[in-house]
Amino acid sequence: MEVVETCVKSPEAIPYLRAAGYNRFLTEGLGKPARNTFELYEPKEIRRTLMGKKGLKFVKPLSAEAFRAALMDHLVFALTIDESNVRLVRREVLSLARIHNKPIELLLNHSSSRTISTAIKWGRRWVHTIFFSSCASKMSEVWPPLVKVNFLVVHGATEAEALSWVFHSPLKVLGSVTSVSG
- Residues 176, 2, 169: CA angle, nearest 5 degrees: 45
Give pLDDT, residue 58.
Answer: 92
The answer to whether 71 and 100 are in contact (CB under 8 A) is yes
Please tell me the class of the 4-181 domain: alpha beta
pLDDT at position 176? 64
Q: What is the pLDDT of residue 177?
A: 61
Cα 34 to chain centroid distance, Å, stands at: 14
pTM: 0.86
What 3-state class would DSSP assign to 3?
coil
Phi and psi dihedrals of 61, rounded to 5?
-70, 140
CA dist., res. 43 & res. 50, Å (int): 12
DSSP state letters, 141-177:
G---HHHHHHHHHHTT--HHHHHIIIIIHHHHHHHHH
Q: Is 5 helix (H, G, I), strand (E, B) or coil?
A: strand
Q: How many residues does the chain have?
A: 182
**Where do the domains of the chain lie?**
4-181
Helix axes 64-72 and 43-50, enclosed angle (nearest 10)? 40
DSSP 140: G
Cα(138)–Cα(143) distance, integer angstroms = 11
Q: How many CB atoms lie within 10 A of CB 55?
A: 18
Render each residue's pLDDT in the chain as its tens digit; 182 residues. 788 888 888 888 889 999 988 988 888 888 778 888 999 888 888 888 888 888 889 999 999 999 899 999 988 999 999 999 989 888 888 888 888 888 999 999 888 999 999 999 998 888 888 999 988 888 888 899 999 999 999 999 999 999 999 999 998 888 766 544 33
